[in-house]
């Protein structure tokens, strides 16, 4: 009976009730979609970091990352790789030889990070082979082929089959130079990496630097799950205590904070919107109670006790919240599903994001747990919003309420 009265009451002023429901729905849509947008952007950034170069974890000599010198190589690297690949969670590995270099063309000289790779192994670990925008992935030139980024091609005024001179420091510390031919131009989508990274055959770079074929500077390891990066890296570190083993979160500066703060930020945004909606609902329901003061007084006078009046007002507020809340979540879900598959092109703003390493096309996404958490937040908000108007009605004196117009 009380439920029927509460339901009927919220539709006595249809316009006001609809305004509250629409405000709740739109507010929750905005908050939930913003969370999905941010989470999609962060997840995309994580995938880009792992797939573009970083992989899930890397193995180096303990001094290599600080000084990037040829002498800090890993002896017997193929044996280390074989041991690592025996783990069932390891999907692929790539042994790399790395050097800083001076790259020269007919138009410009500049610094570069030279990465020597085995093309077949590298494409199993990263997506470099899918990022070629011109030319081919180590095809067409047999001797000293090189892949450069689109940014480098524009900066150095290079095109396919252009010759570049690479100057590096060899194992003994001597400065050596060799010519390479551009076979492919890539665009990774990470503006910072594209500024400096150039790729050559590992064998070619080992030959120039006087390294043996079993001497690598870096081993990149791809796993079947992001969550296994740190525990697997720790296990490999215990196997090789004289080497440095770092998971991607420790290699990508700032990413750990971004990952840890990501969910908190998303819920913070939703929380701010819910607080704003909370005051809106409370204000609306308080107005409704004040307008119905005389009616509530008469109900109390004919036998409706204070507890039932309290419950009636609580139900009215909860009904409004429970209609607007799920409606907003449904709209947000449909919007996230739609834009998540097609992506949102940030246009001119996307260029700035791209320079920071973020993709210019964002695909919003939100997992089931996030929807559940937001639903719980809505329910708590509804309970708080219902409490204040109900307490206001509870304090009414029947005799004074009846005398009010």
Q: Which of 316, 310, 322 is nearest to 381 (CA)?
A: 322
223: three-class secondary structure by DSSP: strand
The label of the residue with tokens 């042994």 reads 95
pLDDT at 306 over 90: no
Give Cα 166 to chain centroid, integer Å: 36
* Residue 405 banded pLDDT, cuts 50, 70, 90: very low
Burial status of residue 400 (CB atoms within 10 A of its CB: 0-12, 13-18, 19 or more): exposed
Q: Is the model's pLDDT at 276 over the cut of 90?
A: no
| Confidence band, pLDDT 50/70/90 cuts, at residue 281 | confident
Q: Which residue has the higher pLDDT, 68 or 83?
A: 83
Q: How far apart are CA 41 and CA 115, in angstroms?
A: 28
CB 311 within 8 A of CB 391: no
Check residue 321 and give its pLDDT: 81
pLDDT digits (tens, 9 = 90+) for 170-190: 999 999 999 999 999 999 877
Nearest to 160 by CA among 179, 141, 173, 187: 141
* pLDDT in the model for residue 262: 67
Q: What is the mean pLDDT of residues 123-137?
A: 93
Q: Are strands 361-362 and 218-223 parallel, antiparallel or unpaired?
A: unpaired
DSSP state of 35: H
Which tens digits make up the pLDDT trace of 144-161? 999 999 999 999 999 999
Residue 102 token pair: 């001076």
pLDDT of 142 higher than 60: yes
Contact 95, 87 (CB under 8 A): no
pLDDT tier at 356, thresholds 50, 70, 90: low
Average pLDDT over the chain reads 85
Asked if residues 55 and 84 have their Cβ atoms less than 8 Å apart, the reply is no
243/374: higher pLDDT: 243
Q: Which two tokens stand for residue 196?
A: 């400096």
Give the three-class secondary structure for 191: helix
pLDDT tens sequence across 324-337: 888 988 999 999 99
pLDDT at residue 354, as a whole number: 61
Please say if the pLDDT value at position 350 is more than 70.
no
Share above pLDDT 70 across residues of the chain, in percent, rounded to a whole number: 90
- In Å, what is the CA distance from 184 to each residue of 126, 154, 249, 381? 16, 13, 30, 56
Mean pLDDT value across residues 297-305: 72
Torsion angle in degrees (nearest 10) through CA of 300, 306, 312, 318: 150
If pLDDT is split at 50, 70 and 90, which confidence band does 90 have?
A: very high
Which of 162, 133, 132 lies closest to 145 in space, CA to CA? 162
Percent of the chain scoring above 90 in pLDDT:
42
User: Among 164-168, 213-217, 378-382, where is mean pLDDT lowest?
Assistant: 378-382
């Amino acid at each position: 009976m009380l439920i029927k009265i509460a339901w009927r009451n919220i539709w006595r002023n249809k316009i006001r009730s609809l305004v509250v429901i629409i405000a709740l729905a739109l507010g929750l849509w905005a908050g939930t979609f913003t969370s999905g947008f941010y989470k999609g952007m962060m997840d995309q950034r994580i995938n880009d970091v792992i797939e573009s170069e970083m992989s899930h974890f890397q193995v180096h000599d303990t001094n290599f990352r600080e000084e990037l010198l040829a002498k800090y190589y890993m002896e017997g690297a193929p044996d280390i790789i074989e041991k690592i690949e025996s783990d069932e969670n390891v999907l692929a590995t790539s042994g790399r030889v790395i050097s800083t270099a001076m790259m020269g063309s007919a138009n410009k000289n500049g610094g570069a990070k030279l990465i020597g790779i085995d093309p077949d192994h590298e494409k199993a670990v990263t997506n470099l082979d899918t990022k070629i925008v011109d030319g081919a992935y180590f095809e067409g030139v047999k001797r000293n082929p090189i892949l450069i980024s689109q940014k480098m091609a524009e900066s150095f005024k290079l095109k396919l089959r252009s010759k570049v001179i690479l100057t590096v420091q060899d194992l003994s510390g001597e400065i050596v130079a060799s010519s390479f031919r551009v076979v492919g131009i890539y665009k990774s989508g990470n503006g910072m990496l594209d500024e400096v990274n150039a790729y050559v055959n590992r064998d070619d770079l080992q030959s120039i630097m006087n390294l043996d074929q079993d001497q690598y500077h870096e081993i990149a390891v791809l796993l079947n799950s992001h969550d296994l990066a740190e525990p697997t890296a720790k296990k490999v570190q215990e196997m090789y205590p004289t080497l440095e083993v770092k998971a991607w979160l420790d290699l990508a500066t700032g990413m750990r904070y971004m990952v840890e703060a990501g969910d908190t930020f998303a819920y913070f945004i939703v929380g701010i919107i819910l607080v704003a909606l909370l005051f809106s609902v409370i204000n609306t329901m308080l107005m409704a109670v004040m307008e119905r003061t005389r009616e509530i007084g008469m109900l109390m006078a004919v036998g409706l006790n204070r507890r039932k009046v309290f419950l009636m007002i609580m139900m009215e507020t909860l009904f409004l919240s429970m209609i607007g809340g799920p409606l907003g979540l449904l709209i947000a879900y449909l919007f996230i599903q739609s834009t998540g598959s097609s992506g949102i092109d940030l246009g001119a703003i996307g260029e700035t994001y791209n320079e920071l390493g973020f993709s210019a096309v964002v695909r919003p996404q939100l997992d089931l747990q996030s929807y559940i958490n937001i639903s719980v937040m809505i329910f708590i908000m509804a309970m708080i919003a219902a409490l204040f108007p109900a307490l206001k009605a509870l304090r009414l004196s029947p005799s004074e309420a009846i005398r009010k117009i």
